[in-house]
Amino acid sequence: MIKVENLRKQFGAVKAVDGVTFTANSGAITGLLGPNGAGKTTTIRMIGTLIDIDSGLALIDNVNVAIDPDGARRACGLLTDSRGVYTRMTARENIRYYAELRGVEIARSEKTLARFIEWLDMKDILDRRTEGFSQGERMKVAIVRALIHEPTNVILDEPTNGLDVMSTRALRELIKRLKSEGQTVMFSSHVMQEVAALCDEIIIISHGRVTAQGTTSQLIELSGKQNLEDAFIALSDVLNTAATRKEAA
């Protein structure tokens, strides 16, 4: 379970994240939906211990990320848009490196790896050096590498960015599998259909704040629109509209 309370982060004069609060439950897929620059990535990076939290609270399985970052890192697997792999090493060696860094026993990591090989159809690329891998192949290595320690919480930042249809589909299947195993899956996206198709709970972030939260149908209902896309536009613009009204007044 991932719990975030009143999370804030400021870069200079820019309030990137301005009091975000939400909960991503175990055995569910939570989507962070928002336009570019809304604060999704910053929120994820704070949860993932990559940047310091200005104020507020982030808990992963009740581990406070600010107090015990290593505990938080063990409890979650994070895939950001940095999916660089070591090109002179094979996919397997790349993954094993991370398993060793996390102190996962070889036998255990091989077992986990075997599952992923099947799920992501990685048999042919596993013992090839990653030099010249396609984006999809690199993503597969990066995601297995991030999850090789079998974390109970999985955070994916715009995971389908730049992927072809086949890879996107493989990734969606993986996300569903992780959910069915009872893990907390949270991912950010600005692709409406993806979020609608996968998520149990959608959190709309705009201008560093949560503007709406709920299931697809709840959000549509909330906005009074016909579909999620219109609902998204209406809901992510809530703040702007409010601000405009205020100014006008």
Partner 1 sequence: MLATIVTVCKKELLDHLRDRRTAAMIFFLSIAMGPLLLFGLTQFIASVEKKAEAREVYVQGKDNSPEIVNYFARQDVTIKDPKPDFRELIKNGKHDPVLVIPKEFAEKFSTGTAQVELVFDDTRQDSGKVSIGVLRRLMLGFNAEASTQRLIARGISPQLTRVVDVQDVNLGTAAQRAAGLLFIIPWITLLGCVSGVTAIAIDVTAGERERGSLEPLLMNPVSRAGLVTGKWLAVALYGLTVATLTMCGFALTLNFVPLPNLASVLSISPAQYFGFAITMFSFAPAMGALQMLIATYGRTYKEAQTYVSYLIMAVSMAPAISMLAQFKDATWQLFVPMLGQLMVITRILRGEAVTTIHYLLPFAINATLCLVAVVLISKLLTKEKIIFGRA
Residues that bind partner 1 (CB under 8 A): 45, 48-51, 69-71, 73-74, 78-89, 93, 97-98, 100-103, 142, 145-146
Q: C-beta of 206: minimal distance to partner 1 in Å?
A: 22
Nearer to partner 1, 105 or 221 (CB): 105
Nearer to partner 1, 8 or 102 (CB): 102
Q: C-beta of 40: minimal distance to partner 1 in Å?
A: 14
End-to-end CA distance of the chain: 42
Nearer to partner 1, 4 or 144 (CB): 144
Nearer to partner 1, 129 or 176 (CB): 129
Q: C-beta of 54: minimal distance to partner 1 in Å?
A: 12
Q: C-beta of 86: minimal distance to partner 1 in Å?
A: 6
Which amino acid would we find at residue 158? E
